[in-house]
Amino acid sequence: MQKIKKYKYLLILLSFVVSLIFINFFNDGKIRRDITSEFIELFSISNIEIIGRDRSSKNTLSRLLKPYENQSLVTLNLKNIQHEIEKITWVKDVTVRRVYPQTLSISIEEYFPSAVWRRGSEQYILDEYGYRIEKIKSNEFQNYFQIKGMGADKKLKNLLDKLINYPDIFNQIDHANFVSRRRWDLHYKNGVRILLPENNISESLSLLDTYIKETKLIEKGHKKIDLRVEGKITTDRISGNG
């Protein structure tokens, strides 16, 4: 049924175009102007459909699209509309379509938040690739993975790809600090600091995961676990026995 309606309106559109060409060829007066006006009115926008919007500003989007209300679908420059919407914070990609007879359809893909980057007194919400979506307040997105350090944004995805395989470690992290633009320190919620090597992070996390499960390493009162030497764990303790 939808396809039949679509073809129906396309046929009407084609008929109008043919009529305009014919009239333009044989008549240069009032009849051409009247038919053109009726043609534009027939396909004037009465509905703007927005799909996929969540965090991007509804007010900004409405303000941007308002000038297009009641305009003709036929004469719209869809590329211009797309480029304008892509400038809105959180919008990653946009598809703009004409849905005849009178609907302008906007499909939005937004950035997916993955981590908060603390940079001095400023904080930014990042997607998994480290793209800075927007600057945020200190009380926003506090349940998201937290990172610190210069260049931490550019190395975020590499770290997340490794940590996702070790949920017992990942779920205990308060924040990760990128040290000297080379390697990561993982800071647990209970105060333990885990020093990762510059390379072979997966191997070090696997070693750590095994030791934690087999020896209750965290529960023994260690405040620092050093994995910077390949295949080796060095620890110190602040309390406990064993």
Predicted pLDDT of residue 240? 41
Examine residue 101 and say whether the peptide bond preceding it is cis (omega within 30 degrees of 0): yes
- What dihedral angle (degrees, nearest 10) is formed by the CA atoms of 88, 89, 91, 95? 0
Q: How confident is the model at residue 29 (pLDDT cuts 50, 70, 90)?
A: very low
Q: Is the pLDDT of residue 11 over 80?
A: no
Q: How confident is the model at residue 90 (pLDDT cuts 50, 70, 90)?
A: very high
Q: For 192-239, how does the pLDDT look when each residue is reduced to its tens digit (9 = 90+)? A: 999 999 999 999 999 999 988 887 666 566 789 999 999 898 887 644
Least confident of 13-22, 67-76, 95-104, 112-121: 13-22
Domains of the chain, each with CATH number or no CATH: 2-110 (3.10.20.310), 115-237 (3.40.50.11690)
Strand 173-179, strand 183-188: pairing = antiparallel
Q: What string of DSSP letters covers 81-110? A: HHHHHTTSTTEEEEEEEEETTTEEEEEEEE
Predicted pLDDT of residue 218? 62
Least confident of 31-35, 100-104, 158-162: 31-35
Decide if 223 contacts 238 (C-beta within 8 A). yes
Q: Measured between alpha carbons, how far is 214 from 221 in angstroms, rounded to an integer?
A: 15
Cα Rg of the chain, angstroms: 29
Predicted pLDDT of residue 88? 97
Q: For 130-149, how does the pLDDT look when each residue is reduced to its tens digit (9 = 90+)? A: 999 999 997 889 899 999 99
